[in-house]
Amino acid sequence: DSWGIFTFLCAALCNLPALPALNCSEELGAGQSIQQTYDLTRYLEHQLRTLAGTYLNYLGPPFNEPDFNPPRLARAERVPSATVDLDLWRGLTDNARLAANYRAYSRLLCYLRVLDGQVGTAELRHRLAHFCASLQGLVLSIGGVMSSLGYPLPAGPAAPPAPPGAPAAPNDFLKKMDDFWLLKELQTWLWRSAKDFNRLKKKVPPAVVTLRLEARGF
């Protein structure tokens, strides 16, 4: 009868597994990774302005004078240079620019860590250590962007600051000149990287919000 059918249906419904739950989650993709890397690059630019001023004052004149603009010495060629023609740089593929950034910051980080071990004041060592930690984060973040876009990381370890047995600076002035060029090149790399990631984030769509059916009770 109708009452029996109603009772059967109620019992069946009570014994059904739990209905799938509607779950809203955000896919963290390349767009968000690029945005985070861009933000970190701009933060490092700001951080370096303060650090460079403090370090150049530590080096003393003429390095802390605003109009000091010496020619690049052969000794400084070990530091990866960012002085590439902008049209040539923009003509590279995204993969090539990301790989160049990854290699450059890996090497610059090696130089900065050596610099950190040679500074004589505790406050400056602390600032350099903090900046090195932030720069290490940028290297990892660039690697994350490359992975999210399907690009392989550059093969091989970063080159050391100097080959084994390389002679040290013959005098204190040339040693300070090496430090000066390290900071100058780092400023140029960060300036250009910020522009790179700003362009890249406009090409890659933002993170997509998707709806998932999460089955429960099975």
What structural domains and CATH numbers belong to the chain?
28-159+170-203 (1.20.1250.10)
3-class secondary structure, 201: helix
pLDDT in the model for residue 20: 36
Residue 48: pLDDT band by 50, 70, 90 thresholds? Answer: very high
What would the DSSP string read from start to end of 121-183? -HHHHHHHHHHHHHHHHHHHHHHHHHHHTTPPPPSSPPPPSS-TTPPPPSSHHHHHHHHHHHH
- Which own/partner contact pairs does 62-68 have at CB distance under 8 Å and 24+ positions apart? 63/176, 63/180
Tell me the per-residue pLDDT of 110-135, one tens digit each, with 9 for 90 and over.
889 888 677 778 888 899 999 999 99
List, in sequence order, every residue forming a beta bridge with 25; answer none if it has no partner: 210
Q: Which comes out higher in pLDDT, residue 11 or 73?
A: 73
Give CA–CA dist 21/215, Å, rounded. Answer: 6
pLDDT in the model for residue 155: 76
pLDDT in the model for residue 86: 80
3-class secondary structure, 68: coil
Tell me the per-residue pLDDT of 162-183, one tens digit each, with 9 for 90 and over.
544 445 566 888 888 888 989 9
pTM (predicted TM-score):
0.75
Give CA–CA dist 13/218, Å, rounded. Answer: 15
